[in-house]
Amino acid sequence: MPQPPKTVSNLLSRLCPNYLWESIAGDLEEQFMADNQELGLGAARRRYAWNALLFIRPGILLRNKLKINNTIMITNYLKTAGRNMAKRKLFTFINAFGLSVAIAFCILIYLFVKDEQSFDKLHSNAKDIYRVEEYAWRTFQTESKDPYMQSAYLQLALAPTLKEELSEVKFATRFNGGWSQVVKYQNKIFIEDIAFTDNDFFKMFSFPVLEGNSELFLLEPKQAVVTKSIAKKYFGDESPLNKILAVDIRGEQDYEIVGVMDDPPTNSSFNFDILIPQENRLYYERNMVNWSSFNSPTFVQLHEGSSEQQLLTSLIDVRDRYMKENMERDKEEYDIPEDAIQFEYRTSNLLDIHLNPDVNWHKVSDPQYSLILGGLAILIIVIASINYISLALTTSASRRLEVGVRKSIGATQKQLIYQFSFESVALAILSMAFGVIIMILFLPTFNDFTGKGIRLDSGVWLELLGFSLAISLLVGHLAGCYPAFYLSAFKPSTVLKGGARKVKPGLAKPLVFVQFMFSSALIVSALVMYEQMNYVTTKDLGFDKEQILVVPTQYGWTDESNAAVAQMRNALQSNPDIIDVGGVSSSFNRGWSRYGYTINEENKAAYVWAVDPNYIPAIGIEIVEGRNFDLTNASDSAALIVNEALVADMGWEDPLQEHLNWREDSIGPGYKVIGVAKDYHFVSLHRNIEPMFLSMNKNDAGHLTTMLIKMRPGDISQTISEIEATYKELLQDKPFEYTFLDEDVDSQYASFEQWMKIMSLSTLFAILISGLGLFGLAGINAVNRTKEIGIRKVFGAPLLNIFVMLNKQFIWMAAIAFVIAAPLGAYLINEWWLSDFEFKIELGWKVFALTFIAGLLVTIITVTYHGFRAAQLNPAETLKYE
Amino acid sequence: MRNTYLGEFEELVLTMVGILKDEAYGNSIVIEIKTQLDRKVNLSGVHVTLYRLEDKGLVKSYMGGATNERGGRRKRYFELTSAGIKALQSIQEQRLKLWKLVPQLKFTR
């Protein structure tokens, strides 16, 4: 017997009204049989499906009776829902508030994830643009477990070489951003973000060009392209084209503005105020022929149809052609294992660079963040849904009559389920409106916490509305489904005759328990994070960071800069509010240099700072052996002050008798050690204190770029303005900028503080919402035991007794939830967050005790309301119902 | 039924119900239209039209007995109501009346 295809007709059988289905199916099958005889099986099956499909049409679908019925009832459901909400304002508020907060949180996180995904999408050639990267064996041993390093910084000559020699490369550019340099136009002097790049940059990337011909941008070395906001800042409404800006890169030079571009958006991996040609970089000519200096991020755009694989193959040839000698030399010098990858070029597509934390880049992010935030959002949604369930059960007593009456009139259970789901969805959509408002209010804070610049453009709204609607419907159904089944199952016969109004808490209790576990885990995590942040900001770092002003000289890496520090010191010495002025090559959290050298055939590395004799006293570094530098002692220019870690690393018995030949001088013994400084944290607490030394030699160790000014406590702002006046007088043409050392040091932990804030915020939400859930559960409990309380009171039980009786079980519940969840939370936060710190707090009993107390307090506060209310009821009122 | 307007296809299906008498159901109407007028119509269209005519009270339907063919499914038979018969009659009368008013048509050549 030949069979017709079932797919379409199965669908039809669902959509078609039942009373018509039999005859339609019969007719279809009859036709099928006839067609089968006439045309063969294949054609008959096709015709059958087609004919069945044609039945899905309004003339059939609209004959469904049930649908019409439900639309009539919707008005009634809406009315009932509205009345119920109005009747229990407190519960409605709790529910709506919890859901609103959860929805707001979800939308924020959606925006975050969307922003993360949107990076660099604006470039129309993005799919053909690749960043070339280095993947190489680490020649300096570090704490890192990975023996390989990845970096976006490559040889200066690579980009031009690739464009010249590889047929698949259409364009190639270098981009060195993030250079803060002094820019001058007439009397306007500011520090701007300079980026060095090439003409191809404008052909590859789609940043809108507002003025000028981008074909010709930066073809001459002394040209500049500025952003719209820079043009406005310096020239107001005048056209900036052909104007001359003085930019200070190893001395002030003039640049002619040839173009204006839009400001790069916040979701761009490239940031710049002013673009100038690569040729203006320091040591350009020298580095163009040096294939062992890695200093230029390199981007290429392939011809359409060329593959990344092709590029990678060609890059192997390029490496072998230009780096062979260097690699062979390094291999010997650093004992690189035979089977290790010594060096290779790799590539990343432009769209992947933002979420690739393995290669360091401005604004680079970790896809993990999106996952963690998404997890938090789901957690909060679940907690809020649980609330809805437990509160719906609490109030179910008063809905029983309604269910009974509806059922006796003839409502089916299906209809009641539909009604209650409808109610929860209605509430969820109402909450969505509030959620969107909360989201708008919190967006600036959220941007602040996450370091993003998310704005709500008109284009986003539709999508956002769709998303929040989807979330609301999901939550509405998720939260509404259990109460709907529970409430609709009441039997009219038992409900309508009255009697004991006992509410079975059912699922509510385990759900609230789960809520409490989530909250406990979150509280522990937030507390651990708080303690750690407190620890890192108050720990004794081995130097004094208070009342110290950090002022860059703005002369960069020059002799003038050294002179500027000395000039300032001389001028400020007479000021009674200034204690000392020290000079250093780079201040804390402003970068560092690390030199590698070989001593006794052993590879060593140490951090190096150039300082002047006032540096050590100015920031209060303790000298444990020997002495400070002395300007009057000529030999001190070849002397070092080392830290204890270096002494330990070298295994010196008497460091003051030792020399450190870090320049690998083949004639002399190297620098003499004149002092040993007590270990201090010159980098962040994420790292151990490693070997380090200070030197006064500007040729070997570098120039002083920054002065650290130690001030006397008192009127700090007055002192700062005095310093500024002195600065302006001595170093004309340079902008005065300053930061506070303690803030600089603390900002090393900015991203960790961000996460702490996000965690605190989620913890706050979670506590709030689960407190509300507990409130609901306590309500059920109090309702159920009304009679018991009445009898106890009749027999003379004191108020306190009843109160304790009612609260005992919740305190137990909170305690058990805590015992299970707190260690779990502590473990997770330790693995994920705390492990990044080399110096960290011990997870002690204190954190757990605090969590426990916090949880207990929340419990007691929330259950008290119901406890008191139930305990105070007049027994005569409660008992008369029997 | 003066005010009930019938479309061309509705009229055709209604006539077929009259012609087929006790054997009028979806499929037989499709076949009859094909044999009488050599016109191919779709089953779903006929069904929808029949239901619409039923709504208008021109036909009524009843389920037939179980059969061995068509997967044992019953047929839904349609028959004319008195309103349906009247409607057909009035259509025919109107046609005839109008036809008579047309001046004698002559075939030239």
Instruction: Pick the closest to residue A56 from B53, B10, B48 (CA basis).
Output: B48
Nearest to B44 among A22, A54, A63 (CB): A54
Q: Pairing mode, if any, of strands A659-660 and A639-643?
A: unpaired
CB contact set of A665 (below 8 Å; sequence gap of 6+): none
Most confident of A144-148, A393-397, A539-543: A539-543
* Closest CA–CA distance from residue B90 to any residue of chain A (Å): 27
The pTM of the full predicted model, rounded to 2 decimals, is 0.68
- The 10 Å Cβ neighbour count of residue B68 is 6
Mean pLDDT, rounded, for A354-373: 85
Per-residue confidence band for B70, with pLDDT thresholds at 50, 70 and 90:
confident
Q: Which of A12, A28, A30, A65 would you mutate first to test chain B, the one with the most B CBs within 10 A?
A: A30
N-to-C CA span, chain A: 69
Nearest CA in chain A to B25: A27
* Closest CA–CA distance from residue A53 to any residue of chain B (Å): 9
Residue that wins the pLDDT comparison between A466 and A63: A466
DSSP-derived letter for residue A264 is P
Residue A26 structure tokens: 């019969």
Residue A562 structure tokens: 């050294």
| Residue B106 within a domain | no
Mean pLDDT, rounded, for A348-362: 89
CB B70 within 8 A of CB A29: yes
- Above 70 in pLDDT, residue B16? yes
Residue B100 structure tokens: 């008579």
CB A116 within 8 A of CB A370: yes
Predicted confidence at residue B47, as pLDDT, reads 92
Contacts of A23 in chain B (CB under 8 A): 25-26, 63, 73-76
Three-state SS at A196: strand
| Residue B2 within a domain | no
- Above 60 in pLDDT, residue A227? yes
A6 close contact with B: CB closer than 8 A? no
* Closest CA–CA distance from residue A411 to any residue of chain B (Å): 28
pLDDT in tens, A153-190: 999 999 999 999 999 999 999 999 888 888 988 888 88
Nearest to A63 among B51, B75, B76 (CB): B51
Mean pLDDT of chain A: 85
CB contact set of A374 (below 8 Å; sequence gap of 6+): A109, A113
* Closest CA–CA distance from residue B83 to any residue of chain A (Å): 22
Nearest to B42 among A23, A30, A51 (CB): A51
A28 close contact with B: CB closer than 8 A? yes
Contacts of A20 in chain B (CB under 8 A): 47, 51, 76
Predicted confidence at residue B3, as pLDDT, reads 54
pLDDT in tens, A441-468: 988 888 887 778 888 877 788 888 888 8
**Exposure b/e, A624-641, CB count within 10 A at least 16 = b:** ebeebbeeeeeebbbbbb
Nearest CA in chain A to B28: A27
- CB B73 to CB A60 under 8 A? no
Instruction: Pick the closest to residue A826 from A604, A592, A526, A572 (CA basis).
Output: A526
Q: Pairing mode, if any, of strands A623-626 and A671-677?
A: antiparallel
Q: Which of B73, B75, B77 would you mutate first to test chain A, the one with the most A CBs within 10 A?
A: B73
Instruction: Pick the closest to residue A769 from A396, A376, A480, A470 (CA basis).
Output: A376
| Residue B88 within a domain | yes
- CB A30 to CB B69 under 8 A? yes
Q: What one-character-per-residue DSSP string does A242-263 give?
A: T-EEEEESSSEEEEEEEEEEPP
* Closest CA–CA distance from residue A25 to any residue of chain B (Å): 8
- Above 60 in pLDDT, residue A142? no
The secondary structure of B39-98, three-state, reads CCCCHHHHHHHHHHHHHCCCEEEEECCCCCCHHHCCCEEEEECHHHHHHHHHHHHHHHHH
CA distance linking residue B22 with residue B80, whole number of Å: 10
Mean pLDDT, rounded, for A366-377: 83
Contacts of B42 in chain A (CB under 8 A): 51, 54
- Above 80 in pLDDT, residue B108? no
- CB B27 to CB A33 under 8 A? no
CA distance linking residue A298 with residue A197, whole number of Å: 10
The secondary structure of A475-536, three-state, reads HHHHHHHHHHHHHHCCCHHHHHCCCCCCCCCCCHHHHHHHHHHHHHHHHHHHHHHHHHHHHH
Contacts of B30 in chain A (CB under 8 A): 31
Long-range contacts at A872-880 (CB < 8 A, ≥ 24 apart): A872/A799, A873/A786, A873/A789, A873/A790, A875/A789, A875/A790, A875/A791, A875/A793, A875/A794, A877/A790, A878/A786, A878/A787, A878/A789, A878/A790, A879/A787, A879/A790, A879/A791, A879/A794
Q: Which amino acid is at A780?
A: I
CB A193 within 8 A of CB A179: yes
Residue B26: CATH number of its domain? 1.10.10.10
The angle that helices A396-409 and A367-394 make with each other, rounded to 10 degrees, is 70
Mean pLDDT of chain B: 86
* Closest CA–CA distance from residue B60 to any residue of chain A (Å): 14
A728 close contact with B: CB closer than 8 A? no
Q: Which positions in chain B have a beta carbon within 8 angstroms of at least one beta carbon in chain A?
A: 25-27, 30, 42-45, 47-48, 51-52, 63, 69-71, 73-76
CA distance linking residue A375 with residue A443, whole number of Å: 19
Residue that wins the pLDDT comparison between B109 and A344: A344
- Based on the structure, what is the number of domains in chain B? 1
* Closest CA–CA distance from residue B42 to any residue of chain A (Å): 7
CB A430 within 8 A of CB A96: yes
- CB B26 to CB A33 under 8 A? no
> ipTM above 0.85?
yes
Contacts of B48 in chain A (CB under 8 A): 57, 59-60
- CB B27 to CB A31 under 8 A? yes
- Above 90 in pLDDT, residue A205? yes
Nearest CA in chain A to B55: A63
CB A211 within 8 A of CB A228: no
Per-residue confidence band for A802, with pLDDT thresholds at 50, 70 and 90:
confident
Least confident residue range of A57-71, A380-394, A727-741 = A57-71
Long-range contacts at A9-14 (CB < 8 A, ≥ 24 apart): A9/A48, A9/A49, A9/A52, A11/A56, A12/A52, A12/A53, A12/A55, A12/A56
Predicted confidence at residue A68, as pLDDT, reads 47
Residues forming beta bridges with residue A711, ordered by sequence position: A578
CA distance linking residue A716 with residue A807, whole number of Å: 54
Instruction: Pick the closest to residue A507 from A780, A767, A775 (CA basis).
Output: A780
- Above 70 in pLDDT, residue A806? yes
Element containing residue A472 per DSSP (H, E):
helix A458-488
Q: Which amino acid is at A769?
A: I
Nearest CA in chain B to A63: B51
Per-residue confidence band for A145, with pLDDT thresholds at 50, 70 and 90:
low
Predicted confidence at residue A276, as pLDDT, reads 93
Q: Give me the domain span that covers residue B42.
A: 8-101
Nearest to B44 among A23, A25, A51 (CB): A51
**Exposure b/e, A192-201, CB count within 10 A at least 16 = b:** bbbbbbbbbb
CA distance linking residue A541 with residue A536, whole number of Å: 9
Contacts of A26 in chain B (CB under 8 A): 70-71, 73-75
Per-residue confidence band for A613, with pLDDT thresholds at 50, 70 and 90:
very high
- CB A28 to CB B51 under 8 A? no
HSE-CB for A539 with a 13 A CA cutoff:
17
Q: How many CB pairs under 8 A join A and B?
A: 64
Three-state SS at A608: strand
Predicted confidence at residue A506, as pLDDT, reads 63
CB A245 within 8 A of CB A183: yes
Three-state SS at A57: coil
CA distance linking residue A316 with residue A404, whole number of Å: 80
Nearest CA in chain A to B53: A59
pLDDT in tens, A285-296: 888 988 888 889
Residue A735 structure tokens: 């902008």
Predicted confidence at residue B56, as pLDDT, reads 87
Nearest to A22 among B45, B48, B73 (CB): B73
pLDDT in tens, A545-575: 888 999 988 887 788 888 899 999 999 988 8
Contacts of A38 in chain B (CB under 8 A): none
Predicted confidence at residue B46, as pLDDT, reads 92
CA distance linking residue A140 with residue A584, whole number of Å: 25
Q: Which of A3, A23, A28 would you mutate first to test chain B, the one with the most B CBs within 10 A?
A: A23
CA distance linking residue A368 with residue A356, whole number of Å: 10
- Above 90 in pLDDT, residue A496? no
Radius of gyration for the alpha carbons in chain B, expressed in angstroms and rounded: 17
Predicted confidence at residue A882, as pLDDT, reads 53
- Above 70 in pLDDT, residue A781? yes
* Closest CA–CA distance from residue A65 to any residue of chain B (Å): 14
**Cα torsion through A242, A248, A252, A256, rounded to 10:** -10
- Above 80 in pLDDT, residue A308? yes
Least confident residue range of A22-31, A204-213, A225-234, A553-562 = A553-562
Three-state SS at A696: coil
Predicted confidence at residue B1, as pLDDT, reads 43
A8 close contact with B: CB closer than 8 A? no
Residue A75: exposure state from Cβ atoms within 10 A (0-12, 13-18, ≥19): exposed
Per-residue confidence band for A876, with pLDDT thresholds at 50, 70 and 90:
confident
| Residue B1 within a domain | no
Nearest to B74 among A22, A55, A59 (CB): A22
* Closest CA–CA distance from residue B85 to any residue of chain A (Å): 24
CA distance linking residue A786 with residue A603, whole number of Å: 79
- CB A26 to CB B70 under 8 A? yes
Nearest to A57 among B44, B70, B74 (CB): B44
Instruction: Pick the closest to residue A822 from A523, A545, A561, A476 (CA basis).
Output: A523
CB contact set of A173 (below 8 Å; sequence gap of 6+): A159, A197, A198, A199, A200, A201, A204, A298, A299, A300
Nearest CA in chain A to B29: A27
- CB B48 to CB A27 under 8 A? no
